Amino acid sequence: MLRSRELLGAQRSELFDLDGEHPRLDVPLKRVKKRCVIQQPLSDLAVEIIKQALTSEDQQFLFESPVYAGQPIHRKAMAAALRDTKHKKHKTKAKTPGWCELLGLKSFTPHDLGRTAATLAGDLGFDDAWIARCLDHAASKKVDVVVPTVTGKVYNHSKRMKEKRAVLDGVAAELRSIIGQLMKTIEPKLRLAALTTSDFLS
């Protein structure tokens, strides 16, 4: 439920309590649209994905580029992988199918994944204000409570993290259920692509 820029540039040093009870990713100001640090709780699914992505002790970025060593995956890489790639040099207008076509899915973009996760969370009965916090969106005036600065920065922090963690854990559980059902119908050679797509959903 993070933006591509916020997630794909994530570094090992931004992870906290990965093997503990309250794992989280802290996204620094320079990658955040609203210019305030995001503390995003990590579900068990997210932790599992991160541990699989970290293939060596020297790896700095969680999602390292397979082409440029020591650099993160480009923020447009996910979008490129989802859509078909047309080869202009071929007179036959050949193309390489993207994940959407391979998996028989309607075309979508990485930005759509945030909406999908938010919809899943809403269907699971989570409050819109909690979902908004996971997306780093401002809560509506109806549910946003103005509190003193000290209370907002210190005392209210724990409650918000619990709310965010509840939403993200709920979405992760739903994703595991959906992907588990899909695995029974997808050809073995396409399963890796399906799992990778689910990784970005979370």
pLDDT for the residue numbered 187 = 63
Q: According to the model, what pLDDT value does residue 62 have?
A: 94
Query: Can you give the pLDDT at residue 52?
Result: 93
pLDDT reported for residue 199: 47
- pLDDT for 26 equals 94
Q: What is the b/e burial string over 68-101, where b = at least 16 CB atoms within 10 angstroms of the residue's CB?
A: eeeebbebebbeebbbeeeeeeeeeeeeeebbbe
pLDDT at res. 96: 82
* Residues 156-177 pLDDT 10s: 456 689 999 999 999 999 999 9
How many Å apart are CA 168 and CA 20, to the nearest integer?
16
Low-confidence ranges of the chain (pLDDT < 70): 86-94, 139-159, 182-183, 185-202
Q: Which residue has the tokens 């979902």?
A: 131
105: CB partners within 8 A, 6+ apart: 99
Sheet (strand 24-27) strand order:
15-16, 24-27, 38-41
